[in-house]
Amino acid sequence: MTEPLFATPALFNSFFLGGFECATHRRRDRTRIDVLATTHHDSCAAEDYMLLAQSGVRTVRDGLRWHLIETVAGIYDWSSFLPQLDAALATRTQVIWDLCHWGVPDGLDPFSPEFVTRFAAFAAAAATLIRDRQTAGGLSGPTFFCPVNEVSFWSWVGGDIEHFAPYGKGRGHEFKRNLIRASISAMRAIRAACFDARFIQAEPVIRIVADPARPEDAAAIRAHSDAQFEAWDMLSGRNEPELGGSTDFLDVLGVNFYWNNEWIHEGERTPPGHALHRPLHILLAELHERYHRPLLISETGTESAAAVGWLGYISAEVRAAQRLGVPILGVCLYPISDYPGWDDSRHAPCGLLELSADYITRTLRQDLLAELTVQQQIFAAQRPIQRSSLLQTTLK
C-alpha cells in the first residue's frame, strides 16, 4: 500500500497564519464596533506583524474599514488603511485583505443594487492601491482578498434575526443573494485591476445532528445543514445561476471552524470528545469532495488555557485530512490577538498576541507559542508532493 503524501502549502508564506479581528458591523443596539481601533492594531500593525514574524507567522488576514474609507459615495480616504498596508509592505508580511467584514458605510442599504455597484468600485480602488503600493515597494506575487466575510452567517444574523445591521427579519435569502452579487462584481473588478489576484471565500462549516428522541426533526436539520453550502453554490453557479456565478469564482475555500460549530438540533453543542462529534478531518474531506477546491482553515481558535489544546486538535485533524489527499494550504489562528467582546467589551484572552488590559502593550503568549512551534516543526517535516493543478489554478 502506498503511503499517502501530504499536500504542499503552495500559496502562503507560512503554513500558520494570524487573523486580526476586523469586524466593523453595527450590533443589535445600533452601536458600530471597530475592533482594529479598539485593539490599536490600526496604529500598531508594524509591531504586530514583527511579533508574528518572530513566531514564524508571515501571512495574516487583516481588514479594510470600508465605513471609514468611503464616507461620501465614490470618494475614498485611505488614511485609515495606509498604516496597515505600509506596515505589511515594510515587514514583508503577506496579507489576505478582508474588504467587507460585515460593516458598510452609513446610509448605504446592503439590500439595494447600489450596494453591489459601490462595493465593486471600492474593491477595484482598493486593489489598485495595493497593487501600486506593492509595485513601488519592489514586491511581486499575487494579491489576496476575502471579498465578503461569512456570507452565510451575515445573511442569517443580519437578514433573518435582526441581530446585526441591516436588521432584516425573514429576509436572509434575499440578503444572501445580494451579497453574492456584490462578491462576484467585486471579484470581477479586482481581477481587472490585478490579474493575479487570489480569493478566499470564508464560510463557517457546521454539523447539526438530531436529538435521538426527536427523529421528526430530520427535514429541518437537513435544510439547516444544507444552508451552509448556499453561498459557495451560488458563487459557483451550481445554484441560482442568474446571479452570475461560475466555477471561476471559487478559488480557495476558507473554512471557519470553532468548538461550537457542531450541535444537537435545538440542543447542546457537540465539541471534540462528545459522542456525537464528527472529527474535523471528515468534514474537510466531505467539503473537498463536494467542490474539488483547495482549502484554508481561515478561522479557528478558542480562549484561555483551552487555546493550546485546541491548536493541537486542529493541527492533528488537518494532518489527518491531508493523509486523505485533501489539499489544505494553511491554518489561520483567529483572532490572533486578544480583543474586546462584541457585545460586552470583555477582554477575551484568545490570541498568540497577548494584549494588556488597555490593549496597548503586546507580547507573545508563551504557552501558545510553544505549541505553535511544535506544530510548525511537525508540518515542516512532512514529505511534500508536487503541486497539483488545483493549487496552480488562477481565476479566469
pLDDT tens sequence across 77-123: 999 999 999 999 999 999 999 999 999 999 999 999 999 999 999 99
> What residue spans define the domains of the chain?
16-386
CATH class of 16-386: alpha beta
Q: Which of 33, 137, 47, 141 is nearest to 96 (CA)?
A: 141
Sequence letter at residue 304: S
The DSSP code for 217 is: G
Task: Give me the pLDDT at residue 10, please.
Answer: 64
Sequence letter at residue 70: E
Sequence letter at residue 52: L
Conformational region of residue 15, where left means phi above 0, alpha means psi within -120 to 50, and beta covers everything else: alpha
d(CA 187, CA 304): 37
Task: Give me the pLDDT at residue 286, please.
Answer: 97
Structural contact between residues 355 and 39, judged by C-beta atoms closer than 8 angstroms: yes
Task: Give me the pLDDT at residue 1, please.
Answer: 30
Sign of CA dihedral 89, 95, 99, 101: negative
Structural contact between residues 394 and 144, judged by C-beta atoms closer than 8 angstroms: no
Residues 6+ apart with CB under 8 A from 368: 307, 308, 311, 351, 352
Task: Give me the pLDDT at residue 354, please.
Answer: 98
C-alpha cell at position 133: 503600493
Task: Give me the pLDDT at residue 194, please.
Answer: 94
Backbone dihedral angles phi then psi of residue 107, each to the nearest 5 degrees = 90, -5
Three-state SS annotation for 262-299: EEECCCCECCCCCCCCCCHHHHHHHHHHHHCCCEEEEE
Partners of residue 100 on adjacent β-strands: 148
Question: What pTM value is reported for the model?
Answer: 0.94
d(CA 285, CA 282): 5
Hey, is 252 helix, strand or coil? strand
Task: Give me the pLDDT at residue 8, please.
Answer: 46
d(CA 189, CA 187): 5
Conformational region of residue 176, where left means phi above 0, alpha means psi within -120 to 50, and beta covers everything else: alpha
C-alpha cell at position 121: 468600485
- Output the CA angle 14-293-17, nearest 5 degrees: 20
Task: Give me the pLDDT at residue 214, please.
Answer: 86
Q: DSSP secondary structure string, 93-104?
A: -EEEEEEESS--
d(CA 226, CA 236): 15
C-alpha cell at position 326: 485533501
Strands (E), 20-69: 59-63
d(CA 152, CA 72): 28
Dihedral (C-alpha) 256, 82, 342, 58: value to the nearest 10 degrees? 40
Residues in the chain, pLDDT under 50: 1-9, 385-396
Task: Give me the pLDDT at residue 352, please.
Answer: 98
